[in-house]
Amino acid sequence: MTALLDILRAAPSLASVRICDGPPSTNLTERDVLYVGWQPNGDNAVSLVQDFNSAGARTRDEDFIIAGYVESRGGDKDMSIRRTRVFEILATVESELRATNVAPDAPTLDGAVLWAHLTAGDLFQHQSNDGALAGLNFSVSCRARI
């Protein structure tokens, strides 16, 4: 989780997004927030399973899923703007997990895992007196050799 947070916090296109390690604090005034290791109504920050890598039981593979959540809120009632924004933020998460010339180790979370990639998401929308809110649960699936 720490390696994923480091990568996302270094992303220039997320400079205006508050990036949180785990559950939210009491300050919910930011318009755009990205949580790593937390989802609303979720029970797990990370889910994992292990199995033997090969015969001899010298190494094991660990598959795990990091929970995440993106939220965008505004004082207006325009849901389309909020929905577009959460998918823009999620697209940046996905891009930051891809190998590039500048970041060849991004899919390995800078060497922390064998691979990591965005694998699932669920969109939520809500209107209130405070305006439109769109939220998007997402999962980053990883494999590590331990």
CATH code, domain with 32 = 3.30.2000.10
What is the average per-residue pLDDT within 15-44? 88
CA distance 97 to 107: 5
Alpha helix stretches (DSSP H) within the chain: 2-9, 79-96
Residue holding tokens 């797990």?
44
CA distance 110 to 1: 12
What is the average per-residue pLDDT within 97-118? 88
pTM: 0.87
> How many domains would you assign to the chain?
1
Q: Is the pLDDT of residue 16 over 90?
A: yes
Question: How many Cα neighbours within 13 Å face the side chain of 123?
Answer: 15
CA distance 10 to 125: 28
- Name the band, by pLDDT with cuts 50, 70 and 90, for residue 103: confident
pLDDT score recorded for residue 28? 65
Q: Is the pLDDT of residue 92 over 90?
A: yes
Tokens of 142: 């990883």
Q: Is the pLDDT of residue 140 over 80?
A: yes
pLDDT score recorded for residue 124? 95
pLDDT score recorded for residue 18? 94
DSSP 114: S
pLDDT score recorded for residue 60? 86
Range of the domain at 47: 2-145
Residue count of the chain, please give it.
Answer: 146
Q: Is the pLDDT of residue 26 over 70?
A: no
What is the average per-residue pLDDT within 10-19? 95
pLDDT score recorded for residue 27? 64
